[in-house]
Amino acid sequence: MKKTPLLNSSISEIISKLGHNDTIAIGDCGLPIPDGTKRIDLALVKGIPSFKDTLKAILLEQEVQEVIVAEETKKVSPKIYEEIKGEIGNVQITFITHEELKKQLEKCKAVIRTGEQTPYANIILKSGVVF
């Protein structure tokens, strides 16, 4: 049996295949995922799993050097923005428009869909290295 905390095999597989600067995204249940981008759908019902819980679980296993967040998040969903800052610690935050974030999903190795229903509860995680 797996020894690390993350139990979801699809997410674990994607993280194990990430190289330096590869990206994955976590999104609310309304984030449009481009055709051709791997979708890992965790959404069960409204709010489950939450964006924050999903981010926390992924950060247990993925080395992240930078996160990309929509500028709109700070104004429209300040609680989500504060949760992001609280979870990522000293990791660099890069802000882009929500439209640009949606375009960048095409380059992500996967998009993880949560049950979150808070606007702009979306993030792209850029993989770092552990050495």
Q: Cite the annotated binding site by residue number.
A: 28, 98, 120-122
Tell me whether residue 20 is one of the annotated catalytic residues.
Answer: yes
Tokens of 68: 């990309």
Tokens of 24: 């994955």
**Whole-angstrom Cα distance, residue 80 to residue 87?**
11
Which residue out of 17, 20, 85, 103 is catalytically annotated? 20
Binding residues for substrate: 28, 98, 120-122
Q: Which residues, 6+ apart, have CB-to-CB distance to 116 below 8 Å? A: 27, 28, 29, 47, 49, 50, 51, 54
Peptide bond preceding 5 in cis form (omega within 30 of 0): no
Could you identify the residue written with the tokens 């095999």?
A: 9
Catalytic residue IDs: 20
